[in-house]
Amino acid sequence: MKNGHIYAVQMCSGIQPEENFAQLSAFLRAQTLARPALVCLPESWLAFCETPQQTLAYAEHSQHWVTQLQQLCRELDIWLAAGTIAIKEGESRYYAASLLFNNEGVEVARYNKIHLFDADVADNAGQYRESTLTCAGENVVTVASPFGRLGMSVCYDIRFPGLYQSMREQGAEILLVPSAFTTVTGEAHWQPLLQARAIETQCYVVAAAQQGHHENGRQTYGHSLIVSPWGACLAEASEGVGIIHVRPELAELHAIRQKMPVAAHNRFKSDFYE
């Protein structure tokens, strides 16, 4: 059984939301997408800002961009997993929110990034402190769709397998991992982490990524990737802006699970994410 078509878009986003949205819209209109289609965007695709304060400023207008995305979904007849956009919380903080829209423009799910990237990395930025103004999410999110049951996550989450085990327990079949991995961590860990989560959960993993040298001074690894429930790399993006595609074989996924029922054998389930 094949359940629709899933596309992962690789981007090199700048600081200005208007420019990034215009580039995305033009890019998608130029594609020939099979329907039903789920288009997945990378983390921070709308605005890859230089400072948390810049991100907070654009978060003030998040509803405007939600409305634009809803219109785009209706116009192109696509489902859209919109990477992350900043949505203001309180007076001076925001969530890194991953929104899922259906082809009628209805917001069917929202996941707030749980694990925030506070780390020192040997690159031109040197230090990342995502928690400065970002609120950490608390809820595991899975949702039914024409493509299979989707589990929603973001970038740094990929290092925490318990989150993905919780999604599997909720019936997830396809894990979404919009990302903006640094070049240093990406070269070392990107592909093995994605393959590990796919193998452990026996799910497809769809990871749309940022790639290149950005206006904010960041360098991101790219290599957007789609991994099978057996851990095989089914599609990988080259450098620059691009798109990769898979049509999930859910019958094959469930055959893998039946032959090797690791979820039933798991004796170390955790309620941390419940």
CB 79 within 8 A of CB 100: yes
**Residue 160: other Cβ atoms inside 10 A:** 16
Catalytic residue among 12, 49, 135, 155: 155
Tally Cβ neighbours within 10 Å of residue 43: 27
Instruction: Tell me the C-alpha distance between 30 and 245, whole Å.
Output: 15
Per-residue 3-state assignment (H helix, E strand, C coil) for 130-185 = HHHCEECCCCCEEECCECECEEECCHHHHHCHHHHHHHHHCCCCEEECCECCEHHH
- How many whole angstroms separate alpha carbon 164 and alpha carbon 150? 11
The secondary structure of residue 273, as a DSSP letter, is T
2 is catalytic: no
Catalytic residue (choose from 12, 43, 73, 173): 43
3-state helix, strand, coil in the chain (%, to 5): 30, 30, 40
Active-site residue flag, 113: yes
CA distances from 68 to 8, 42, 263 (A): 20, 17, 40
Q: How many residues does the chain have?
A: 274
Contact of 36 with 247, CB cutoff 8 Å: no
Active-site annotation holder among 40, 73, 88, 113: 113
Is 43 one of the annotated active-site residues of the chain? yes
Q: Which residues are catalytic?
A: 43, 113, 155
